[in-house]
Chains A and B, each alone.
Chain A
Amino acid sequence: MVSQEPSIVPEHSLDRDCTTLSRHVLQQLQSFSPDAQDLSAIMNRIALAAKLIARRLSRAGLVAGALGFTGEVNVQGESVKKMDVYANDVFISVFKQSGLVCRLASEEMDDPYYIPENCPIGRYTLLYDPIDGSSNVDINLNVGSIFSIRQQEGEDLDGKAQDLLQDGHKQIAAGYVLYGPATVLVYSIGRGVHSFILDPSLGEFILSQENIRIPERGPVYSTNEGNFWQWDEAIRDYTRYVHRHEGYTARYSGALVGDFHRILLQGGVFLYPGTMKKPEGKLRLLYETAPLAFLMEQAGGGLVRGRKTSWTPFPIASMPVPP
């Protein structure tokens, strides 16, 4: 006979434990259509990649070939870290036989990886930054992965993926994984922003927060002030303002995902403006900026748009000479 005594486990807690990532995607879409199932399966594969990367990161100081540089330079002109290569390959392996995507484009690869003809080919493209903030790996600080899903348009017969050169509104879904004290996956399919935490005992991402809304205001400004004298005067004026007014605090970890996550939950602003040396900034539009902008828009936040961020209105000559 079932006891009528109140359960010691709150019902909502059990409900939450049962809300896995793939189930949540289907709930969001309110459909079991092939499209919904594809999207749910893609998210499931991303979760698998995240688990593999999280496992590697958790033992990075103990296993050979996990820390340090490969000795190669990527398309961005940056030294490639071993963990970058590992994480990049994880995403390819996870999706290669999935039948869900036709291409994977990563900031670590000069050109997209096309699913071989002897593998099942899907119609989506996964764009990703496999390890964001990889310089943090060697010192055991947080890093992340960023992803974006777009549908292929056209045939891409020349293999140049020109159809990806479109604005962020073409994204079907976007999100990131934060490898911190807990491994957190945040995603949106255009219906709010939701957060999941990897429960190591279950091996599943379990719903943590639904419909995250960024506070209208926040005390944190997050930027690399080492570039202060490289910035345009407007950004330097803003920085002087927050220095001189109470209530602001600086937080900058060097890993975009971690800094963005803090801003998303606690409010504030993240800035990576152009500099005198790099007027276009450092962040990659397709692999970093567009996915995070998609999430921020869904969370009710703001971003500086259009020419205001291009820095073209400000001639380089007007930049100050460092004292």
Chain B
Amino acid sequence: MDAIPDRLHARTPLIIGSREEVKLVESFIEDRLRREEVVAPATSN
């Protein structure tokens, strides 16, 4: 709902459904993001 297209035929990923099931998917994404953040400083040194 918050995504703003940059052209009429813009595409976007979609993950949608029951609140608890979406939260479960989000937990995996958050976990991945955390791991990326941990790795990123180490690789920049």
The interface of chain A, by Cβ under 8 A from chain B, is 75-76, 105, 107, 111-112, 161, 164-169, 214-218, 221, 232-235, 237-238, 241, 260, 263, 267-274, 278, 280-286, 288-290, 292-294, 296-297, 300-306, 308-311, 313-314
Once the chains bind, are B18 and A309 in contact (CB under 8 Å)? no
Q: Which residue in A216, A217, A269 is a CB contact (below 8 Å) of B15?
A: A269
Q: Which residue in A168, A310, A313 is a CB contact (below 8 Å) of B13?
A: A310
Chain B residue numbers with a CB within 8 Å of A293 are 1, 14, 16
| Interface: B17 (CB within 8 A) | yes
Chain A residue numbers with a CB within 8 Å of B9 are 75-76, 107, 284, 286
Could you give 10 example pairs across A and B, Cβ below 8 Å? A167-B2, A216-B18, A218-B18, A233-B32, A235-B29, A238-B28, A273-B15, A303-B22, A304-B15, A304-B26
Further contacts, 11 of them, CB under 8 A, given A218-B18, A284-B9? A111-B8, A168-B1, A267-B21, A272-B13, A281-B13, A284-B10, A302-B23, A303-B22, A308-B26, A309-B14, A314-B36
Q: Which residue in A75, A234, A270, A281 is a CB contact (below 8 Å) of B12?
A: A281
Once the chains bind, are A235 and B19 in contact (CB under 8 Å)? no
CB distance from A17 to the nearest CB of B (A): 32
Once the chains bind, are A280 and B18 in contact (CB under 8 Å)? no
* Complex CA distance for A300 and B18, rounded to whole angstroms: 8
Once the chains bind, are B29 and A234 in contact (CB under 8 Å)? yes
Once the chains bind, are B24 and A238 in contact (CB under 8 Å)? yes
User: Would you list the 3 A-B pairs with minimal beta carbon distance, nearest first?
Assistant: A269-B17, A302-B22, A234-B32
Once the chains bind, are B32 and A280 in contact (CB under 8 Å)? no
Once the chains bind, are B11 and A280 in contact (CB under 8 Å)? yes
* Complex CA distance for A107 and B7, rounded to whole angstroms: 12
Closest residue of A by beta carbon distance from B29: A234
* Complex CA distance for A255 and B21, rounded to whole angstroms: 21
Most-contacted residue by chain A among B12, B13, B23, B33 (CB, 10 A): B13
Using a CB-CB cutoff of 8 Å, which residues 23-45 of chain B contact chain A?
23-26, 28-33, 36
CB distance from B15 to the nearest CB of A (A): 4
**With known contacts A237-B32, A284-B9, A313-B33, A269–B21 Cβ distance under 8 A:** yes
Q: Which residue in B1, B10, B28 is a CB contact (below 8 Å) of A303?
A: B1
Once the chains bind, are A167 and B1 in contact (CB under 8 Å)? yes
CB distance from A295 to the nearest CB of B (A): 9
Chain A residue numbers with a CB within 8 Å of B10 are 280, 284-286
Most-contacted residue by chain A among B17, B19, B33 (CB, 10 A): B17
Once the chains bind, are A165 and B8 in contact (CB under 8 Å)? yes
Most-contacted residue by chain B among A168, A169, A302 (CB, 10 A): A302
Q: Which residue in B19, B25, B30 is a CB contact (below 8 Å) of A271?
A: B25
Once the chains bind, are A285 and B5 in contact (CB under 8 Å)? yes
Q: Which residue in A111, A272, A283, A313 is a CB contact (below 8 Å) of B36?
A: A313
